[in-house]
Amino acid sequence: MLSKMTPKKLDFFDLFERHAKTSVEGTALLAETLAGWPGTANNVCRIEEVEHACDNITHMTIDLMRRTYITPFERDEIRELISRLDDVMDHAQGAASRLELFKIQSVPPHMIELGKVLARATEQVHEAVLLLRNIKKAQEIQAYSKEINRLENEGDRILKAGLAELFETEKDPIAIMKLKEVYERLEAATDRCEDVANVLEGILIEHVG
């Protein structure tokens, strides 16, 4: 649908919102993939398609910025926001691709839990981004940012617990290395959600006070 829309019909808020919504779809699919692996291996290609769609939206945002004289925020803020949004799906897709690349046989429970936390964090990002059209709803945006930060901390806790269990129970060092990398990609994606929250709070400081 987005590819059929002409640039004149899009504004920055449309693109921010579409990117965040697409990421929600992608991370929900990733959580489903982790929970059902290896029976959900076909989802890896779908997640890659979502990541490509996010890249496309990012490129459209940069292009719109180049063609627009008056922007809703500073150009650096727009670039930083869309870049941090894009990082989320980059890392999510990286985790999915490694499940297939490394021929992971089974997904540990903590990894499934971390995927669910990531999906919830991107939902919160989407809700916060939707409020940018009415930036005076600063308190609501800050509430979403606080929840994103909480989920990032929860993700850190799950990562530590998952790695501790992995090192304790897995005897194959190659298997440890593979699973550790998937864990870290998932945790990096939750970190990028927190980065989005930090960018949003910075925009609030500059434009609301």
Higher-scoring residue by pLDDT: 207, 14: 14
Q: What is this structure's pTM?
A: 0.94
Section 32-54 average pLDDT? 98
Section 65-79 average pLDDT? 92
The DSSP 8-state label assigned to residue 9 in this structure reads G
For residues 156 and 162, give the distance between their C-alpha atoms in angstroms, rounded to a whole number. Answer: 10
Section 25-47 average pLDDT? 98
State the chain's mean pLDDT as an integer.
Answer: 94
Q: Which domains does the chain have, with CATH numbers?
A: 9-207 (1.20.58.220)
pLDDT band at 6 (very low <50, low <70, confident <90, very high): very low
pLDDT, position 3: 44
| Whether the predicted pLDDT of 8 surpasses 60 | no
pLDDT tens track for 140-184: 999 999 999 999 999 999 999 999 999 999 999 999 999 999 999
- Owner of token pair 């929840």: 147
DSSP 146-163: HHHHHHHHHHHHHHHHHH
| Whether the predicted pLDDT of 20 surpasses 50 | yes
pLDDT, position 207: 81
pLDDT band at 135 (very low <50, low <70, confident <90, very high): confident
Q: Which of 18-27, 63-72, 198-207 has the highest mean pLDDT?
A: 18-27
Q: Is 27 exposed, middle or buried (0-12, 13-18, 19+ CB in 10 A)?
A: buried
pLDDT, position 163: 98
